[in-house]
Amino acid sequence: MIQSQRQTHFPLIGYILWIFGFLGAHRFYYGKPISGTIYFFTLGLLLIGWLVDLFLIPSMNRDADIRFHEGAIDYNLAWMLLTFLGLFGIHRFYMGKWISGIIYLLTGGIIGLGVVYDFWTLNDQISLLNGSDRS
């Protein structure tokens, strides 16, 4: 019996983050932290790569759906919380990481460095948490 795979990442969220794509937001969302960082420092490779990505989002979305594990924690909600409220640690509270959430809240996401770390690792953090739910 073939198990249908639920989407972990939604194209709509990818396109919303693409609006901020010259800062690499959509690339981080789809689990591409190296190119996300390059986009951040080069304004989306001088906006050319950013425009090309408008057409690449569907394939990046398929790759992310295959790569990351579905579960109780929704990637899309966690990414929106990180992107817009990351300095306050709301995404960490959502994932059940209360201690680090409080630390982020009191320190502005550990002066922004913790938020950068989470941009690099959020997909993997969620996959690990969702994978432990299967046990």
Alpha carbon distance 4, 7 (integer Å): 10
For every residue of 55-89, DSSP letters joined together read: HHHHHHHHHHHHHS--SSS-HHHHHHHHHHHGGGT
pLDDT confidence of residue 4: 52
pLDDT at 20 over 90: no
Taking the CA atoms of residue 57, residue 62, residue 67 and residue 68 in that order, the dihedral angle to the nearest 10 degrees is 80
Domain range annotation of the chain:
1-67, 70-135
Q: How far is CA 44 from the centre of its chain?
A: 17
The pTM assigned to this predicted structure is 0.87
Per residue in 66-110, pLDDT (tens digit) is 999 899 999 999 999 999 999 999 999 999 999 999 999 999 999
Alpha carbon distance 20, 83 (integer Å): 10
pLDDT confidence of residue 33: 95
